[in-house]
Amino acid sequence: EGGGQPFDDPAWWFEPKLDGIRCLAEMTTGETVLRSRTGRDMTAQYPELHMVHELVDEVNAVIDGEIVAFDASGRNSFETLQQRMNLANPRQIERMRAQIPVALVVFDLLWLDGRDTTGLTLEDRRELLRLVVEQDDRLQLVTWVEGEGNALVEAAQTQGLEGVVAKRLGSPYLPGRRTDAWRKIKLRDTQDCVILGYTRGERGRSATFGAVLVGAYDRGTLRWIGQAGSGFTDQMLATVLDQLKPLVRSTPAIDDAELARVKGAVFVEPEVVCEIEYAEITKGTKKMRAPVFKRLRTDKLPEDCVLEPVREVSR
């Protein structure tokens, strides 16, 4: 769950929130298969991770983690990782591999040597992970602190990290489910959104679009929550438009009269997910104020776009 406040509690562990691509690594005797949270096989895109099973001291394992890249200063950077994402040409992949190597940072264990480990406690799963993983530049175990969430949040702010994840001791692994046993403590307000359409571009953007119209699920119902026109590079404008063009439809995918009246809107099937940074979500309209496009989230499904709790009192 997101939107949590920092806290200290000896019954919880706290980890840095990694800014990468969530990944399930399926390891056997001879290979590692990397899958996104949507089940997409990403193995070919990250050849330096093909053999990380050799760093795990068991025959079969399924490990949860995050593929990350680092910028010139050594900081975890999604912007840097984006240059490795969605590449298909093997030569291009090899060239970018040399320029921007990635690592798999692991934090949970779902299966080990024929045994389902999801029902074990967090601390037992982590201890097994610590025992079987031999760390190097390609495969790393996440760092964590016990009980002192406020101190880690302060350190994360200093280091420019995205946030902190709090995990309750004793909790099992619940695949595909939101649970209060894992809490995101964000250092900036962001919202995963599904794109519902876009407005036609003018002047310098006449060849692409003006803004994306975005929505999120609020108590199970997909709602329009705003539009974002800033934050795009020219390359990202073209990339987003390429993904949206095949999804065009004549009417909004949701029943919203206000959305249907947006001037110059082109509506699309709600399939493409992006991340939006915002100043606040207003209580009255539940719309984002000052939204800025951050990135596409090809690792997430539309149903992952659940409206974050409103934290600020506003109009």
Question: 204-221 pLDDT, tens per residue?
Answer: 899 999 999 999 999 999
Cβ(53)–Cβ(31) under 8 Å?
yes
Residues noted as catalytic: 17
Neighbours of 302 (CB within 10 A): 19
Closest to 71 in 3D by CA, of 59, 58, 80: 80
pLDDT above 90 (res 270): yes
What are residue 213's DSSP bridge partners?
A: 197, 227
Give 282-292 pLDDT, tens digit per residue. 888 889 999 99
Give 12-35 pLDDT, tens digit per residue. 999 999 989 999 999 998 899 999
CATH 2.40.50.140 region(s) of the chain?
190-304
Query: Which of 81-100 are b and which e, b meaning 16 or more Cβ less than 10 Å from the residue's Cβ?
Result: bbebbebeeeeeeeebbeeb
The HSE-up count of residue 209 (CA atoms within 13 Å, CB side) is 27
Tokens 């982590």 found at: 126
What is the structure's pLDDT at 3?
Answer: 57
CATH 3.30.470.30 region(s) of the chain?
8-186
Which two structure tokens, joined as six digits, stand for 66? 């995050």
Average pLDDT of the segment spanning 44-57: 93
Cβ(67)–Cβ(46) under 8 Å?
yes
- What band does 313 get if pLDDT is binned at 50, 70 and 90? very low
CATH no. for 8-186: 3.30.470.30
pLDDT above 80 (res 315): no
Closest to 235 in 3D by CA, of 305, 293, 302: 293
What's the predicted TM-score (pTM) here? 0.80
Average pLDDT of the segment spanning 119-146: 96
Query: In this structure, which topology does domain 190-304 adopt according to CATH?
Result: OB fold (Dihydrolipoamide Acetyltransferase, E2P) (2.40.50)
